[in-house]
Amino acid sequence: MKSVLILNGPNLNLLGTRQPEVYGSQTLAMVEDSCRQHGEQAGLEVACYQSNHEGDLLDQIHAAKGKYDGIVLNAGAYTHSSIALMDAIYSVEVPTVEVHLSNIHARETFRHTSYIGRAALGQICGFGAFGYLMAIDALLQHHASREVS
Ligand code: DQA
């Protein structure tokens, strides 16, 4: 595995000031920097992108095919509504790990459903910004186990 895309959806540009009691005090730039540092330690190229627009996120997922070996996706509220994002992940076949800062299963029932989770390798939630680093490690492990078998 050589490269990974860290893709963040709506309202995640507001990290740091947005409900810090739920999402923590780190800004998105800080989260992205720690992803870059973590990835670089493993020899990975890390690209980061955030959009508040579903279509932009779809375009990024489409463009990831053949360009990135994995996607770390926090689709924000689109997680719970977007069949289009789910279909995009199925379509491009780029291994994707779903991340949420908060534990969506301990929150309102409408957050318990994830369309992303159907298409993703797995889901990491509830560990704050550390979850993004866990997701990078999960992708590394996924690729390493495929190379061995
Ligand atoms: C979130 C959880 C979602 O339910 C919410 O809409 C977000 C952030 C998280 O990272 O915990 O925007 O994806």
List phi, psi (to 5°) of 67: -110, -40
Give me the tens of pLDDT residue by residue for the chain, a chain 149 residues long.
Answer: 899 999 999 999 999 999 999 999 999 999 999 999 999 999 999 999 999 999 999 999 999 999 999 999 999 999 999 999 999 999 999 999 999 999 999 999 999 999 999 999 999 999 999 999 999 999 999 999 988 65
Alpha-carbon distance of 115 to 69, in angstroms, equals 21
Report the amino acid identity of residue 77.
Answer: A
Query: Is 102 close to ligand 1, i.e. is its CB under 6 Å away?
Result: yes
DSSP code of residue 101: S
* Alpha carbon nearest to ligand 1 atom 9, residue: 100
Joined together, the tokens standing for residue 8 give 């963040």
66 CA from centroid of ligand 1 (Å): 28
The answer to whether 125 and 95 have CB atoms below 8 angstroms apart is no
Query: Is 72 close to ligand 1, i.e. is its CB under 6 Å away?
Result: no
With the most atoms of ligand 1 within 8 angstroms of its CB, the residue from 85, 100, 105, 111 to mutate is 100
Catalytic annotation, residues: 23, 100
Surface-to-core class of residue 148, CB atoms within 10 Å of its CB (0-12 exposed, 13-18 middle, 19+ buried): exposed
Summarize the chain as % helix, strand, coil (round to 5): 50, 15, 30
With the most atoms of ligand 1 within 8 angstroms of its CB, the residue from 101, 108, 123, 130 to mutate is 101
